[in-house]
Amino acid sequence: MPTGEQINVIPVYYFFVLLVLLVAGPFLLFLKKARSGLSQKFGVIPKEIVLDQDNLKNGIWVHSVSVGEFSAVRPLLEKLNEGYPDIPILVSTTTLTGQTLAKERVGRFARVFYFPFDLPFATGRWLDTLKPALVVIAETELWPGFLSECKKRGIKTVCVNGRMSPKSFKSYERYKLFFGRALRNYSRLGVQSENEAIRYRAVGGSQLPVTITGNMKLDGLGTESGAVVEFLRQEMNVAPGDFVIVAGSTHEGEERAVIESHKGLLRTYKESIASGKPQARPRLIVAPRHPERFEKVVDLVNASGFKAKRFSKKERFSDDSDDIYVLDGLGQLAKYYSLATIAFVGGTIKPVGGHNLLEPYAYSVPTCCGQHVHKTRDIANALTELGALIMVKDAEELAKRMHEFYLDREPARALGEKGRQWINQNQGAVDRTLTLLLDVLATTNGAREIKSIRTNKLPASENSYQRNVATHG
């Protein structure tokens, strides 16, 4: 009787993927967000890539689904290009926002395109055209068909910055006969933490080639220079003493929560002026997570009794306090955290699972969030254990904590410093991940400059992750 490893369930998987596309296809055509890159997703290769395929072969294909994943791998892409400029770099994304950001940030040295649907006629055409030496997939993406097609062609595959949320883990473990086999198609897996390694091995087996490399998002947390921050402050008309809340990656309902909190701070501010003992002027910057909600958030601000000032119109705060700034632009949020006194990270009051909790701490900015942080659980846990993360139950508690920190900034400042110190102590994941990739690349038949790849590996950083790599690699 054949074992689970011998039974080929990929054809059944392909049937279900095709069925879903047939049902969803008509709806995709009517949604601009889903329609973008649709031909490439079905395996239609752009003419310019076909004409240049000889120059692109034997490259490294890096896939990141959207903005968050691309932001994590961007430092890795830049180091690859800097250290090995002769190796072609290919970057795919799934979403329009990810595609836009990738072209803007790495388009000067990488070929950027949409990742195909996980069907053999689509993935096969891309693989046969590009002929990559190595395929790299970021974070949570697991495409069983694509990994199977890579293995058929002898193409090595590596997972980087790997994470498996508790919710995903439950599903993968329940069907580990299928997903475990998919994971075993990876040549190597570089994961963010020991907890992630445990989850991956619980699904893929104890022999799964997992290495703990750390979280590359910690390395990608570059900061703007003091001169740039000061220019931005003047451009925005924000005084050094202002109490600035930056609400980043917000979802439906969360904008209303921070606006209500801002209203409370304004009441206190106006009372302090009337009493002759003025407090700091409150300012609020809101950055919605999804571009399609920009207009809706602008309407909400205006309907709440404020005047919306917009990044897209190059506007700035007025001298009074009755306006709220809407950051309606892609890839801008990290820079604006430099102006913050305190930050709120969205997707956490609304049960989305949370977004990047680390970006504010790059500027020592203390951060508030809701309790729904399952997508970034390890980082949330680490910051909570440090006493650096302010977690609230709901909008009312958010307003209360903001008011406390408005009246006394010192406790918040101390939390921000703790977070920044933790980041400094745990950076180095990009170098470790690059070493992992070069190790695998050196074993491929099509790799270029194999000798230099083998002899010029980057040293691992001396921190706690190095011990984990030695233990679990």
Output the pLDDT for position 221.
81
- Rounded average pLDDT over 390-410: 96
CATH architecture of 226-425: 3-Layer(aba) Sandwich (3.40)
**Structure confidence at residue 5 as a pLDDT band (50, 70, 90):** low
Q: What is the CA radius of gyration of the chain?
A: 24
**Structure confidence at residue 446 as a pLDDT band (50, 70, 90):** low
**Structure confidence at residue 193 as a pLDDT band (50, 70, 90):** confident
What is the CATH number assigned to the segment(s) 10-220+429-472? 3.40.50.11720
Handedness of CA 153, 156, 162, 165 (dihedral sign): positive
Query: Is 255 exposed, middle or buried, given 0-12, 13-18 or 19+ CB atoms closer than 10 A?
Result: buried
**Structure confidence at residue 107 as a pLDDT band (50, 70, 90):** very high
**Strand pairing partners for 244?**
283
Q: Quick check: 61 and 90 in contact, CB under 8 A?
A: yes
CB atoms within 10 A of CB 424: 12
Tell me whether the CATH fold assigned to 10-220+429-472 matches the one assigned to 226-425.
yes
Query: Tens digits of per-residue pLDDT, 64-80?
Result: 998 889 988 999 999 99
Q: 3-state class of 395 per DSSP?
A: helix
Distance CA 144, CA 125 (A): 17
- For residues 287 and 96, the model is more confident at 287
Q: Supply angle C-alpha 294, 403, 355, rounded to 5.
A: 40
Residues whose CB is less than 8 angstroms from the CB of residue 369 and which lie 6 or more positions away in sequence, other chains included: 344, 345, 348, 349, 354, 357, 380, 389, 390, 391, 392
Q: Return the residue matching tokens 């310019």.
A: 48
154: pLDDT strictly greater than 90: yes
Output the pLDDT for position 68.
83
Distance CA 387, CA 401 (A): 15
Distance CA 60, CA 58 (A): 7
Q: Which of 213, 214, 232, 210 is nearest to 223 (CA)?
A: 232
Residues whose CB is less than 8 angstroms from the CB of residue 190 and which lie 6 or more positions away in sequence, other chains included: 158, 159, 160, 161, 162, 210, 211, 212, 213, 432, 433, 436
224: pLDDT strictly greater than 50: yes
- Rounded average pLDDT over 391-419: 95
Q: 3-state class of 65 per DSSP?
A: coil
CB atoms within 10 A of CB 232: 15
Q: Which of 141, 107, 106, 148 is nearest to 127 (CA)?
A: 148
Query: Tens digits of per-residue pLDDT, 325-383?
Result: 999 998 899 999 999 999 999 999 999 999 999 999 999 999 999 999 988 887 898 89
**Given 5, 48, 69, 260, which residue is catalytic?**
69
Name the pTM for this structure: 0.73
Strands 307-310 and 323-326 come out as parallel
Domain boundaries of the chain, sorted by first residue: 10-220+429-472, 226-425
Exposure of 133 in the CB half-sphere (CA atoms within 13 A): 23
Active site residue 69: yes
Q: Which of 70, 229, 222 is nearest to 141 (CA)?
A: 70
Q: Which of 252, 247, 239 is nearest to 280 (CA)?
A: 239
451: pLDDT strictly greater than 70: no
